[in-house]
Every structure is written in structure tokens, then in C-alpha cells.
Amino acid sequence: MRVTQSMLSSNMLRNLSSSYSKMGVLQEQINTGKKISRPSQDPVIAMKGIGYRSDLNRVEQFERNLGEVNNWLDSSDDGLDKVGQALHRVRDLIIDANNDTKTAEDRDKIAKEIDQIKLQIRDLGNTKVGDKFIFSGTKTLSPMYDPNGTAPLYDANGFLDTNYPGVNENVNIEINAGVEITVNTNGIGIFNEIDDMMVQLQSALEDEKNTGVKGNYDALLGLADENIDTVLTARSEIGARQNRVEMMENRLSSQNLIVTKQMSDNEDVEYEEAITNLITQESIHRAGLAIGSRIIQPSLVDFLR
């Protein structure tokens, strides 16, 4: 086959163009730090990158969910802690009221303090996280206690009706694929029992004031101890869930690191390798230019000069 000057020139130009293209790719890798800048350069890397990003987004969403879980659990534990402190004070007042040396004026002061503690406990029952009431079951937009509440949502005492749908149900948040955790505490039963005890105590103090007949403070003391134990049990359950959340946080943190490393290995360029390849390609390109200048034969114009 006869090799013409035009064939040599065409091959040289094609090879030079290919060399420029390779240097451009290597330069872009060094500038961006990525192996590819568009999917067409390497569809396999692009598809793997999409998968890794989906995994990373999912892990980050679960980590955000855990933040919400911690808000609920911490707020529930803090609210019940304050309730427990109030109940201990109520217990002390019951013991104090059971003292036969107390005057009517003393008992009146005890009754007033009991009334304020009752209101405080009711307020704690309406604890919120953001705009959600955490002790109201799935009825998170309704306060657990509302003196002006209307039926059928509220009973005659102003508390959410335990028979109303959602009041006794759990609020669950997903913390991993297919894994949910209950973040709320069923507070209706706890606060109803406490409020009933407080009403009985107020009634006993009022009757003693009006009739002089001493109330059954021993029974009320037993009720106070039962309610304190109930609150402690609820707090222990919250603590167990907090421990589980902490373990899940560690697991998600490890998953985040693993997926990030996989994505980096898949997409990020090795700078040392890329710079070496660019220098090598530049040397090849210069050699191609030098050889091309010898391949192109002098034209008639060159002789006329």
C-alpha cells in the first residue's frame, strides 16, 4: 500500500488531537480531584457513585432521626424527673399533715402548697418537643391536660380520654432500615393516677379542716410511694432506650465512615498517580510533535525562500 504525505499528516494530526484530549482529561482530574466529571467518561464509576451517595444520604437521615429521638427521650426523662421531685415533696407534706400537732393554719398552708404542686405536675404533663406534646400518645397536637377540653377528646377532669384513639399509642421513629424505636412514654396513666391522688389528698385536708376528722394519710402515703415507683419505672425504660440509641449512633457513625471511604475510593483521584501520568503524557506529546515536524516534507514554498 502506498503511503502518501497526506496520510502521514492526517495520522499525525489525529494522534496529536488524541494526545491533547488525554492531557485535558488528566488536567481536569487534577483540578477537580475526581476521576470523572461526567458519566460518559466511566459509567461504572458513575453508577457506583450514585449508589454510595444514596447509602450516605440514608445514613445521614437516620442520624438526623436519632437527634429527634434524643430530644424526645431527654425531654421525657427530664419531665418525669421533675414529677418525681414533686412527688417526694408531696410525700413529705403527707407525713407532715399526719402529725397531730399541726394546727388548722398549718394544714391550710399544706393544702395551698399541694394545690400548687398539682398544677405544676399538670404543666409537666403538657411538656413539648417543638410543637408536639410528648405525653399525649399519637395525639401530639393536643395537650395531655386542658381544663377547657371538650368531649370526646377530654374527660370531665380535663385529661385526655384514655379510650380516645391514639392517646395510648406509641410514637415510633425509624433509626435504621426497618428498625424503629418508641420515643414517647405513655403518660396518661401515670399522670391520671398522680392527679387522682392529689385530689384525694386535697379532699382529705379540706374535710379535716371543715369537720375535724383526720384523713387516711397512711393510705395516701402508700399511693404516693406507688406513684413514685411508677415514675421511676418509666424513667428506667427511657434509660434503656437511651442506651440503645447510643449504640445505634455508634453503628451509624461507623457506617458513615465506611460509605464515605468507599465513595472516595471510587471517585477521588490519586494525585501522585495523576501528576505522573500527566508528565508522561506531556513527554509523549512533545515527542509526537518533534517526530511530526520531521514527517512533514518541505513544500515548494520552503525551497523558494
Shared-domain flag, residues 214 and 299: no
Domain co-membership, 135 together with 255: yes
Tens of pLDDT, residue by residue over 194-241, are 999 999 999 988 888 777 778 788 999 999 999 999 999 999 999 999
**pLDDT the model gives residue 3:** 63
CA distance 254 to 301: 72
- As a whole number, the mean pLDDT across the chain is 88
What is the pTM for the complete model shown?
A: 0.81
- Cβ neighbors of 177 (< 8 A, separation 6 or more) are 58
- Bridge partners for 221 per DSSP: none
Do both 246 and 273 map to the same domain? no
Q: Identify which of 247, 123, 130 has the alpha carbon closest to the alpha carbon of residue 187.
A: 123
User: Per-residue pLDDT for 304 more than 70?
Assistant: no
- How many Cα atoms sit within 13 Å of 118 on the Cβ side? 20
Q: Are residues 243 and 276 in the same domain?
A: no
Rounded Cα–Cα distance for residues 44 and 42 (Å): 6
Are 192 and 78 members of one domain?
yes
C-alpha cell at 194: 398522680
The answer to the question of residue 41 being in a domain is no
Q: 297 is in which domain, residue-wise?
A: 5-33+269-304
Let me know whether 111 and 249 are in one domain.
yes
Q: Is 42 inside any structural domain? A: no
Asked, for residue 244, whether it belongs to a domain, the answer is yes
CATH code assigned at 123:
1.20.1330.10
Q: Radius of gyration over alpha carbons of the chain, in Å?
A: 38
pLDDT digits (tens, 9 = 90+) for 129-151: 999 999 999 999 999 999 998 98
pLDDT at 305 over 60: no
**Nearest CA-CA partner of 63 in 237, 260, 261:** 260
Q: Cβ atoms within 10 A of the Cβ of 234, count?
A: 20
Query: In this structure, are 200 and 68 located in the same domain?
Result: yes
Per the domain annotation, does 39 fall within a domain? no
Could you tell me which of 268, 254, 261 has the C-alpha nearest to residue 59? Answer: 254
Residue 18: what pLDDT? 80
Domain match, 298 and 201 both: no
Residue 113: exposure state from Cβ atoms within 10 A (0-12, 13-18, ≥19): middle
Domain annotation covers residue 38: no
- Asked, for residue 206, whether it belongs to a domain, the answer is yes
273-295: pLDDT as tens digits: 888 888 888 887 787 777 777 66
Q: Are residues 67 and 175 in the same domain?
A: yes
Provide the domain count of the chain: 2
Whether the pLDDT of residue 169 is over 70: the answer is yes
- In percent, how much of the chain has pLDDT > 90? 58
> If you average pLDDT over residues 120-131, what whole number do you get?
95
Residues 197 and 294 in one domain: no
Q: How confident is the model at residue 120 (pLDDT cuts 50, 70, 90)?
A: very high
Q: Is residue 43 part of a domain?
A: no
Residue 32 has pLDDT above 70, yes or no: yes
Whether residues 192 and 139 fall in one domain: yes
Q: Distances in Å between the alpha carbon of 300 and those of 6, 13, 23, 281?
A: 16, 21, 35, 34
151 shares its domain with 197: yes
Check whether 4 has a pLDDT greater than 70.
Answer: no
